Amino acid sequence: MKKLLSVLILALLVSCSVKQKASDGKSGENGASPEKIKIAVDDIKKSMEYLASDELGGRATGSEGIEKAAVFIENYFKANNIKPYFETYRDTFKLGELIGYNVVGMIEGNDPKLKNEFIILGGHYDHIGQGKEVNGDTIANGANDDASGTIAAMEFGKYFAKSKTNKRSILITLYAAEEMGLKGSAHLAKRLKEKGLNAYTMINFEMIGVPRAEDKSMAYMSGYDRSNFAPILNKYAGEEVVGFFPKAKEFNLFMRSDNFPFFKELNVPAHAISTFDFTNFEYYHHVDDEPDKMDYEHMASFINKMIPALEGMMNAPTKEVILNDE
């Protein structure tokens, strides 16, 4: 009898252990434990050294270089189980004689109801192509602007495709023709509106390759007062990752980056997040905006800090992020 009782107790303990594992997301259908998945410096650097390489010639829209970048992003999506949102990864548009491509991937949410709502994350992967010659170099590589934001969006896609911790669905959207006046994002935003996408929020990652001064918030959000987005993100991050930058309004940054077409078309909270504040990097639209100028530890730290912020926002049972009355 004593032996039988011991067996029953052991079986009960094993059963409880299995249930606990499944419920806390460390095994079972939720996949890998979020805290065990970290964005690696080497992965970021590897992507940067290709996207901002001389081989890609500055990634001007319509060039051979930006086509190579598009293929690189598509292959990254495929390798990391990020599915196409449309029939293919490409959203094609024309600008006169030029053909541009946005690259769009999707990670479906795991909640039967909330997966019908979409979080849009993005950045522009084009740049200006050529810049003013310096020591024989004319290639404006566009490492900070905006291979850095492109890579951040790609890494978020990889994380959520692997962790499967997102209740809402996610679009990873990378745009061409930002440097020509936000043309790529405008085309995609309009197409998503026509498709009837149930969008909740949008974040555009713009120039996150260099750190701000130590007495400043790690990043800032354009259009800070237009919604309660930043406080919500900071609540889930457990610290002020996204702060207020007074000059953002002075420079009209809210309307100068790829978040703006999504705000205009979809009428949802849509902002750009950046760590470049015009004091911490000298090479905007310059041939020296190259991979060796990027701070990869900073980039990894920013992306890793943003993961719980995004996760909390996208998994909340109600839509906490709302537009403020202007």
pLDDT per residue as tens digits for the range 40-73:
999 999 999 999 999 999 999 999 999 999 999 9
Neighbours of 100 (CB within 10 A): 22
Q: Does residue 12 carry a pLDDT above 80?
A: no
Q: Within its chain, how far is the Cα of 163 from the centroid?
A: 16
Q: Which helix (H) or strand (E) holds 48?
A: helix 41-51
> Six-digit token pair at 210?
């260099």
Neighbours of 163 (CB within 10 A): 20
Instruction: Report pLDDT digits (tens) over 176-208.
Output: 999 999 999 999 999 999 999 999 999 999 999
Provide, rounded to the nearest whole percent, the portion of the chain with pLDDT above 90: 88
Residue 119, SS3 per DSSP: strand
What are the structural domain ranges in the chain? 40-315
Residues 6+ apart with CB under 8 A from 96: none
Q: Does residue 253 carry a pLDDT above 70?
A: yes
Predicted confidence at residue 96, as pLDDT, reads 95
Q: Does residue 23 carry a pLDDT above 50?
A: no
* Rounded alpha-carbon distances, angstroms, from residue 292 to 162, 214, 268, 296: 29, 21, 37, 9
DSSP letter at 292? G
Predicted confidence at residue 287, as pLDDT, reads 98
Integer Rg of the chain from CA? 21
Q: Is the dihedral of CA 124, 125, 126, 127 positive or negative?
A: positive
- Give bridge partners of residue 199 from the DSSP assignment: 118
Q: Does residue 11 carry a pLDDT above 80?
A: no
Tell me yes or no: is domain 40-315 CATH 3.40.630.10: yes
Residues 6+ apart with CB under 8 A from 9: none
Mean pLDDT of 107-111: 98
DSSP state letters, 213-267: -TTS-SEEETTGGGBSHHHHHHHHHTS--EE--HHHHHTTGGGSSTHHHHHHHH-
DSSP state letters, 55-68: GGTT--TTSHHHHH
Neighbours of 314 (CB within 10 A): 25
Q: Check: CB of residue 209 under 8 Å from CB of residue 44.
A: no
What's the predicted TM-score (pTM) here? Answer: 0.89
Predicted confidence at residue 35, as pLDDT, reads 56
Mean pLDDT of 131-140: 97
For the chain, strand residue ranges (E) read 83-84, 90-95, 98-107, 118-124, 129-134, 137-140, 169-175, 199-205, 219-221, 242-243, 270-274
Per-residue confidence band for 325, with pLDDT thresholds at 50, 70 and 90? confident
